[in-house]
Amino acid sequence: MPGEPAPEPYRVWLSEVMLQQTTVAAVTPRFERFLQKWPTIEALAAARDEDVLSEWAGLGYYARARNLIACAREVAALGDFPDTAAGLRKLPGIGEYTAAAIAAIAFGEPIAVVDTNVARVIIRFAGLESTIEQSRDTIREIVASMTPADRPGDFAQSMMDLGATICRPKSPVCGACPLAEDCVAAASGEPERFPARKQRAARPVRYGIAHWIERNGAIWLVRRPRKGMLGGMAALPGSDWTEEQPKSRSALGHITHDFTHFRLELAVVAHKSATGDGWWQKIDDLVDAGLPTLYRRAVESVFQSRSALAA
């Protein structure tokens, strides 16, 4: 929190990685659980990949979890986190924003920290008639000019909080904003008009089949290949995901799942024999399998179909 001593770099790094494209409400309990299991960077570095991936299940964007493991091991080997944004950028999974946030909050480096919330504040404050993507360089220059040499971490967190709680995407509370007096968007009377909206391209559709292999109250699970979508995560075995719709088969369940760049139509079909390198997971203990959201929903679709047939 602003005004308090700088937090441990490990906690800052972990929270920033978890919060990438994930809400605070979803991250908070998982962050605390991670710290209970792995209270130091050395403890996380020594953990099994499968344990970390299972604990990450449900947070989405699973490349973050793989980078988390790689980064923890590299930092443990170095002996500590680098204390500058330039040094932090060299670590796995740490991009420009995350490096700046860690450097400012944990190490007091006076550097521009720009997340989506901060970008929205600046676009409205300066009245930039463009999308966030089109204005990133200008936004960074403005934030850099505003960032104080003293307590840059407090300033960064205050700006992020301002965007999250007051300068919100919808219904901004301009009357409570400390920047309102000089804000171009507030003066226009239409602050929600800023930033300009980015036109979204149509999301392509892919198709896949997941195999439901059940025996003695257990189902067969495998691990997805380490590289690619949901790499290293527990999963139902099945086909590759392709743009060609498979031939119609009797399905036990079906879900539609949105990824960042495409929509997946996944059918769950019965299969007789275990395929791939995997294990039998008791249905009663599925919560311990570390299934990502996609496969958890696929399993639930089967149970829902069974319940509907039994009704």
Active site residues: 16
Helix (H, G, I), strand (E, B) or coil at 251: coil
Among 93, 52, 103, 39, residue whose Cα is nearest residue 71:
93
Q: For the chain, how many helices (H) and strands (E)?
A: 12, 7
Could you give the maximum distance between any two Cα atoms of the chain, in Å? 69
Q: How far, rounded to the nearest angstrom, does the alpha carbon of residue 226 sit from its chain's CA centroid?
A: 18
- Rounding to the nearest 10 degrees, give the CA dihedral for residues 79, 85, 90, 96: 140
- CA 95 to CA 85: how far, in whole Å? 9
Sort 176 into a burial class: Cβ within 10 Å, 0-12 / 13-18 / 19+: exposed
Helix (H, G, I), strand (E, B) or coil at 282: strand
Residues contacting residue 24 through CB under 8 Å, at least 6 positions apart:
164
